[in-house]
Amino acid sequence: MLKAVAFAADKHRFQTRKDSERTPYINHPIKVALTLCEIGNESDTDLLVAAILHDTVEDTETSPEEIETHFGKGVRDIVMEVTDDKNLAKEERKRLQIVKAHLKSRPARKLKLADKICNVHDVIHHAPSGWNVDRRLAYLNWCEQVLEGLRGVNHLLEKHLLESIAEGKNVLTAESSQHVA
């Protein structure tokens, strides 16, 4: 587990999140792993290690083989299931997340739930700079559609994500009506 944290921290070392505070990228995978433990009550080591590594192949120079060499095939398989194909256009990647969510393995769906919980939290409380309310609401609606395919693997994570999306919609709708007024 600590080896994974060190590996991911090294791979993401020049990256920041898209928020205005420019949070170091590594904060995100650590939070996703913590969400699986603390909210989802998950303790499987392969799952938690995959959570720490979940964005390395998609967003850094990391190969699936490298993950397998250091962390085993189980971890590699989970990471690859949650890795989008960057050769596809962004809209297509987002569409595929909706239609393919239900086809993923149970660990991959748990990881996706935790990832969405963290991203929804960020979009509500630490929005990427330049994202207006409409774009943030559109993101929440998209997450809600992905969630439909992720159901049935962890009730606690599912419930938390649903509540976060609902809370986000309330907060953002209130914000947007303030702007209109």
Of residues 62-121, those binding Zn ion (CB under 5 A): 115
Of residues 110-169, those binding Zn ion (CB under 5 A): 115
> Whose Cβ is closer to Zn ion: residue 126's or residue 176's?
126
> Whose Cβ is closer to Zn ion: residue 15's or residue 176's?
15
Which residue stretches of 12-105 are H helix? Answer: 27-38, 45-53, 56-59, 64-71, 73-81, 90-100
Tell me which stretch binds Zn ion (CB under 5 A): 15-23, 37-45, 54-62, 93-101: 54-62
Active site residues: 58-59
- CB 73: neighbour CB atoms within 10 A? 11
Least Å distance, CB 173 to Zn ion, is 25
Reported as type and span, the H/E element at residue 118 is helix 106-125
Distance CA 113, CA 106 (A): 11
Is 42 near Zn ion (CB under 5 A)?
Answer: no
Q: Which residues bind Zn ion (CB under 5 A)?
A: 55, 115
